[in-house]
Amino acid sequence: MLAQDRIVAAARGWIGTPYLHQASLKGVGADCLGLVRGVWREVVGGEPETPPPYQPGWAEMGGGEAMAEAARRHLTEIACTDYRPGDVLLFRWRAQLPAKHCGIAAPGGLMVHAQEGAAVAEVALSAWWLRRLAFAFRFPEGA
């Protein structure tokens, strides 16, 4: 099985997991970062770093691009136009805010993500999402 297929299959395995801020336990609870962390553990192995505790408004308070900076430490940044299934996508809720939401691209113009108020789901990467796409990253070779 190709790496990107393994990544998408792992992400889809989280579908239905309830949203739970800062959690990363399949079937128990996850936020968007927790989903990516869980997929990393499944396809790569141990997490390379533990995220610090964060509040729901963390990105707006800290300034900078904390999520993108963390992704750059462990994933390969690619152009937003070059993403493919299995890649990690980072989104901004508003143009002037830092990226603070992520999901994993799936085939057919879809992504798997966790969003507050809903369980992990596979949704269309609609124009609404694509307008907010700020960064794209690929899992390391051999994932």
The answer to whether 39 and 10 are in contact (CB under 8 A) is yes
- Supply the CATH number for residue 68's domain: 3.90.1720.10
Instruction: Determine what percent of the chain is predicted with pLDDT higher than 90.
Output: 78
State residue 29's pLDDT score. 98
Query: What pLDDT, in 10s, does the model give residues 39-96?
Result: 999 999 999 988 877 766 655 555 688 899 999 999 999 999 999 999 999 999 888 8
Q: Is 118 within the bounds of a domain?
A: yes
Q: Is 130 within the bounds of a domain?
A: yes
Q: Is 143 within the bounds of a domain?
A: no
The answer to whether 64 and 56 are in contact (CB under 8 A) is no
Residue ranges making up the domain that contains 113:
3-138
State residue 55's pLDDT score. 65
Q: Is 14 within the bounds of a domain?
A: yes
Q: Is 59 within the bounds of a domain?
A: yes
Q: Is 128 within the bounds of a domain?
A: yes
- Total domains, the chain: 1
In the chain, at which residue ranges do the beta strands (DSSP E only) sit? 24-25, 29-30, 76-78, 88-91, 101-106, 110-113, 121-124, 133-138
